Amino acid sequence: MTLLADRYQLEATLGAGGMGIVHRAHDTLTDRIVAIKQLRSDLARFQPEVFERFAREAEALRQLNHPNIVQALDTFQRDGEHYIVMDYVAGDDLATALKHEPKMPISRAARIAIEIADALTRAHYLGIIHRDLKPANILIAPDGSARLTDFGVAYLGERDRVTRGGITIGTPDYLPPEVFNNQRGDERADIWALGVILFEMIGGQHPFSAENLPSLMLNVLINPPPDLEELRPDAPLSLVDLIYRMLAKEPSDRIPTARLVGVGLETVIQRAQITPLPTDMRANLGQRFQPPTPVQQRHNLPAQATPFVGRDGELRMLGLMLEDPYQRLITLVGQGGMGKSRLAVEAGMRTINRHISHTDLFPDGVYFYSLTQISGIDKLLTLIADGARFQFYQGESPKSQLLDFWSDKRALLIFDNCEHLTSELDLISDILYAAPAVKIIATSRARLDIAGETLLTIEGMDFPDMLTVDLSEYSAIQLFVQSARRSKPGFQLRPIDFNAMIEICKLVRGMPLGIELAAAWVEVLSLPEIAAEIAHDLDFLGTEAQDAPERHRSMRAVFGHSWELLTPEEQQGFSRLAVFRGRFTRQAGQAVTGATLRQLMTFVNKSLVRRDADSGVYQIHELMRQFAEEQLEAAGELEAMRAKHSRYYIEALVQLRRDMQSNRQLERWMDIYADRENVRAAWLWAATNGQFVPLADSIHSMGIFFDMRTQYIEGSALFEQICDLLYKHPPDPDRDRALAWLHGWVTIFRTIFRQVASAHEHLAAMREAVNRSRDPETHAWLNFCIGLVERILGHAPSSQEYFRRAAAEFTALGSPWDNAHALLNLAVSSYFRLESRQTDISMGILAADEALSTLESLGDVYVRAHVLEERGHLATLIEDFDRGLALMEEAANLHRTVGNQLGVGSTLLKLALTRAVVGQLEQGRVAAEEAYALYRDANNLAQIATSLEIRARISFFEGKFAESAELAQEVVHLSLRLQMPEYRISALILRGRCEWALGRLGPCEETFRHAYIAAEDINHREDMSIALAGAILVKLAQRNLADADALIEVLLIMAEHATDFNQIALATSLRGRVMHMLKQYEEAVDHSLRGLTLLRDSSRVRNSYVWDEGLRHEFIALVTQGLVETYRALGRIDDARQTVRDAVALAQRSNFPAVIVAVVISGAGLLFALGQTEEAGALLARQIENPVGFAVERYRASALLARIRDQIGDESFARVVAQGASLSMDDCVNLLLERL
């Protein structure tokens, strides 16, 4: 046997082709069977391009490492021969398999296709296009898995130089139309080939089979594929639809990526319950070769399916206007169908792709908003916020929040279809006023009459008045040819048609939509016939609609022409589609109107309906929809279709309630978001026509959706609109059941924004509706809503009681998701103080754990993220920090998966505080800054204030007192703006502590005074106590004992009246300090020990009042220092030593540097008193140089050092200071404990 490269022993010839021979061989080095491809030596010598193809295959296979691609193992040359060593795949290729089984089982075909799509995803990601995908190049392994091979003609990105001009690469049967048109195929050429193969596997025949090459080209370029539904009735419609989309003749209409093909096939498998691939073969499908996550782009311009044509003059003018700082509002005015929307989008896209005048005009983004379905300021607010990914928050009005969000942005906003707006225009004007660097492009059929508006009138595209040498230089002609090729690939404008072409352009006045619609009929009519039809309709409209503007008559002429050329069956099908708002799926179109898949394809081919290449959803131009709706009404079918439309979407919502509480939650969430306008229309029809039962059954789904999206404004507006419609009907139990659900959700939305009066109104209306309906589910819902209102208003006892009732009732009703939702809120309410001034953390943990168990069994993600967040927080309250951190990290990741930015931010802030408490200050700072950045981008002022305060607390923990004070002051300013006194009080107290730490006693006392007054105004006694304690510290530092003692009496009275644990601890500790300063040592010891015992009981401290851990340790250090001095005065040295040891241990656990410094200074004072002068001096010298220490403590250290210097002399003192400078803080603590 022949041995190649001293290791490959040839065993058999597997096959031979035009380029060479494939051998089976034994690799003696690895003891495995391999395949070796040998290039024909004559080809290598006389056809160098073939050798290059062989080399490119080797290079491609070396880059590709994928379980569904045959892998290259080695390449070598021997005696002028070239070889590639590859994996050996036993079994046949797909071509052989299709000979034995022309029509494969759906499951097998889907599995093969999804594996090849996965392989192509990897190849395309690396810039490799196969270009010769066919059944013979797909090998089927014994386990049934598919392997892609033969990359001999692959395109390797910029390195591709083999293809000669005019040479078609690939097997003709699998080439797409663009390649036959001498265009280079991109990744979509592989998608076409895979579509052909999939058609073969399902339909049992090639979709474009022909006896010769010219006939094949004709079929591929012009003829549609056979009806796959007839060839394979058992094939799921979603699979048939997917194949048709892969075989779209225009590349821009084809599914654009192999990844989307794989996703589509996965969906087919799931919905058809086809047995999926083994997990070991399909592990992490769709993620294995995912490229790095791109930076989020700050724009939302809609993708365009076709290239932009013409309008060069208008684009130049728009560019100049956008550069002009004085032109803030540019309105593109023109009749419907003139292409205003497309022009605006193109202008926006060009500012992104190439910055005008090399300047980044809009670094904060370009945003597109379609206003076709918008009516009312609330919907417009939500639309604008949603497009910019801004989430409303508690505090200011939504409008104020949105205006503030844009106020410092340099952005371009494109508002499309503004002509129907009235009061909503005020918001556009307000944006211009509030945001001086924001520019707006509006499209409208009439001027908006807003101050500062600049008009740019959009007329028809340019076209010749008479025959010219070159028609192609006119944009109207270019658009017609481009559009015609979508209906008839390969269409060419012939000289014989020039006159008719010019006539068509004249008749539609160069209107782009009219040109596109006219071009759609080139497949069945000649250009003179199209011109004649349009002219005929124009004459008719001229006699029937003399009062209509001429431009509107020409538009209706195009619609009328398109309508008349449809068959009666197609007319009925198209008019029925008018019931849809915005978009609709194939399934919805078929279920509501009865339209077949081929009918929908026909409407797309005739440009009556557009189809998104990525998602496969359909959309009708709004003007055409209105025209079709007129025809539907004239046929007497409008109300019947609206009823079917309403029933379809409401039934879908009822199903969604189950799905949104399962592992399909995120998928269904996006379905609702995409179909929200259809849902709105369905609801309005149902409410108007008294369809109470289905409406009531679907409300909870929409409430959950709006809650997930934090779209509380839009949710309130829609629900209140439905309420108004329902109240027009006579009382009915089912009507009242619907009203109970609606009022409940509005109650929640209003409460979130602290609109308490409105919330109570809706709660009262809900209670009445529940009483009338006597429905047990809405009764449970009522208890939940009351509990939420009570919790947000701070009424913990009643809140917990209502949540318990709701949870029990939902359990009895068999509603586990709602039960878990109630338990979540019960858990949150557990760390709010009860009337006994105690919390019930253990109860909260039990509730959260029960909720988690339920949600995990359901597959829920959204609520589970919230429960994990709160369960983690509860764990930290019992000092189970490791578990708490792990749970909150998991919660943050789930919030990110859902896209709940508010949830991400709130979890990050909890993580930040917890990490600071456990000493992970840097990680805590990073988490707080990430949350701050997130809220800053969303301009959520309330959460910006929260994140700033937490950053300030972490800075305080780090000993960066000046930085902490500045951040706290920012929070004070924000709280005044937000009118949120709780935020102001907390920030003032923190700032006061910073002033104390910095030794600025005057400003400190004034700050605590303001905090006390602000807390007194809203009766926050706990905060009054803390502010009062801060003021007492100042009095003690000033040795104003009389005022300090008087304030302590006030503090003790407040504490005893409130029976609050922390207030008693503060008052008792401070009284001990006063007693020491008055030299009443026994009383000082008694009060100090009682205070210290209370402060050291961390669990009782937390249960009493959730306060800052740093504050507790500050007071522990203060009491310790006083107690040590008191014991010394009493001669109780052993007690003093033990007090210091205990304080050191607690300070180390606190991870609070300033507290450790304070305790070391106290211990050093004790050492000095015990005669260990030099050791005390070294410790003190180190502390006065430590910037994280409290100023008051450093002053004490300086005073002691002065006494030590006087005692030991300058020379010894210098040695002591040098020794201290060499000590780390750990060294200081160890030295102190050693000497004690």
140 half-sphere exposure, CB direction, 13 A CA radius? 16
1115-1236: CATH topology = 1.25.40
Q: In 3D, which of 341, 272, 258 has the Cα closest to residue 304?
A: 341
d(CA 1004, CA 74): 76
982: nearest Cα among 711, 792, 785: 792
What's the CA gap between 133 and 602, in Å, rounded? 29
Using an 8 Å Cβ cutoff, are 70 and 62 in contact?
Answer: no
Output phi, psi for 70, to 5 deg: -60, 125
pLDDT at 663: 60
Closest CA to 387 of 373, 406, 370, 367: 367
First to last CA, the chain: 88
At residue 1056, the pLDDT reads 66
* Distant-in-sequence contacts of 537-543, Cβ < 8 A, 24+ apart: 537/561, 537/564, 538/507
Q: What percent of the chain has pLDDT over 90?
A: 28
How far from the centroid of its chain's Cα atoms is residue 360's Cα? 25
Angle made by CA atoms 181, 182, 188, in degrees to the nearest 5? 80
> Can you give the pLDDT at residue 193?
94
Per-residue tokens: 134? 């066919």
Q: Write the secondary structure of 926-972 as one string of H (helix), E (strand) and C (coil).
A: HHHHHHHHHHHHHCCHHHHHHHHHHHHHHHHHCCCHHHHHHHHHHHH
| CB neighbour burial string for 43-68, b if at least 16 within 10 angstroms, e if fewer | bbeeeeebbebbbbbbbbbeebebbb
* Strands 128-129, 329-333: pairing kind: unpaired
- Please report the pLDDT score of residue 253 as a whole number: 80
150 has catalytic annotation: no
pLDDT at 133 over 80: yes
Delimiting residues of CATH 3.30.200.20 domain(s) in the chain: 3-87
Residue with tokens 């499309």: 416
The overall average pLDDT reported for the chain is: 82
CATH 1.10.510.10 for the 94-272 domain, yes or no: yes
Q: Which CATH architecture has domain 3-87?
A: 2-Layer Sandwich (3.30)
Spatial distance between the Cα atoms of 9 and 27, rounded to a whole number of angstroms: 6
Which one-letter DSSP state was computed for residue 32? E
Tokens of 679: 């849902």
Helix (H/G/I), strand (E/B), else coil: 10: strand
- Residues 576-631 have pLDDT tens digits of 999 998 788 888 898 999 988 888 888 877 767 878 777 778 888 766 787 888 89
Q: How many CA atoms lie within 13 A of 1039 on its CB side?
A: 2
Lookup: tokens for 447: 């001027």
Of 408-412, 995-999, 1175-1179, which range is least confident?
408-412
Q: Are residues 244 and 225 in contact, defined by beta-carbon separation less than 8 angstroms?
A: yes
Whole-number pLDDT of residue 764:
95
Span 751-769, mean pLDDT? 88
3.30.70.1560, 3.40.80.10, 3.30.1050.10, 3.40.50.300: which CATH number matches 315-457?
A: 3.40.50.300
H or E element at residue 1210:
helix 1210-1221
What does the alpha-carbon distance between residue 996 and residue 38 come to, in Å, rounded to a whole number?
84
With CA atoms as reference, report the closest residue to 1003 among 1015, 1020, 991, 1012: 991
Catalytic residue among 132, 150, 160, 1108: 132
Q: What is the pTM for the complete model shown?
A: 0.65
CB-CB neighbours of 659 under 10 Å: 17
pLDDT at 1215 over 80: yes
Alpha-carbon distance of 1180 to 1163, in angstroms, equals 10
Dist. CA 629–CA 632, nearest whole Å: 5
Q: What is the DSSP code (8-state) at residue 559?
A: H
Residue that the structure tokens 């945001």 belong to: 435
Per-residue burial over 776-789, b if 16 or more Cβ lie within 10 Å, else e, is ebbbbbbbbbbbbb
**Joined tokens for residue 1190:** 């409290």
Q: What is the pLDDT of residues 987-1022, one digit of tens each?
A: 999 999 999 999 899 999 999 999 999 988 877 777
Least confident of 21-30, 272-281, 411-420, 674-683: 272-281
pLDDT for 142 equals: 83
Token pair listed for 653? 């919502």
Torsion-angle region of residue 1206: left (phi > 0), alpha (psi -120 to 50) or beta? Answer: alpha
Confirm if 1137 and 1234 have CB atoms less than 8 A apart: no
CA-based R_g, the chain, Å? 38
Q: Which has the closest alpha carbon to 356: 321, 330, 329, 307?
A: 321
Higher pLDDT pick, 676 / 776: 776
Q: What is the pLDDT of residue 1076?
A: 86
Three-state DSSP class for 509?
Answer: coil
Residues 384/477, Cβ–Cβ less than 8 Å: no
pLDDT at 687: 95
Domain with CATH 3.40.50.300 in the chain: 315-457
When mean pLDDT is compared over 263-272, 421-430, 438-447, 757-766, the highest value belongs to 757-766
Give dist(CA 461, CA 337) in Å, integer: 11
- Quick one: pLDDT at residue 168? 44
**Contact indicator for 149, 138 with CB cutoff of 8 Å:** yes
At 928 the pLDDT is: 92
Q: And the tokens for 517?
A: 């619609």
**pLDDT category of residue 409 using cuts at 50, 70 and 90:** confident
Tell me what pLDDT residue 872 has: 95
Q: Does 130 or 570 have the greater pLDDT score?
A: 570
List, by residue range, all CATH 1.10.510.10 domains of the chain: 94-272
Say how many CA atoms lie within 13 Å of 825 toward its Cβ.
Answer: 30
**CATH 1.25.40, the chain: domain bounds:** 1115-1236
Instruction: Give dist(CA 821, CA 745) in Å, integer.
Output: 14
The proportion of the chain whose per-residue pLDDT surpasses 70, expressed as a percent, equals 86
Segment among 223-237, 519-533, 1051-1065 with least mean pLDDT: 1051-1065
List all residues 6 or more positions away from 838 whose beta carbon is below 8 Å from its beta carbon. 1061, 1103, 1104
The yes-or-no verdict on residue 564 having pLDDT over 90 is: no
Cα–Cα dist 427/430, whole Å: 5
pLDDT value at position 279? 34
Instruction: Report the C-alpha gap between 35 and 14 in whole angstroms.
Output: 8
User: Is the torsion defined by CA of 647, 648, 650, 651 positive or negative?
Assistant: positive
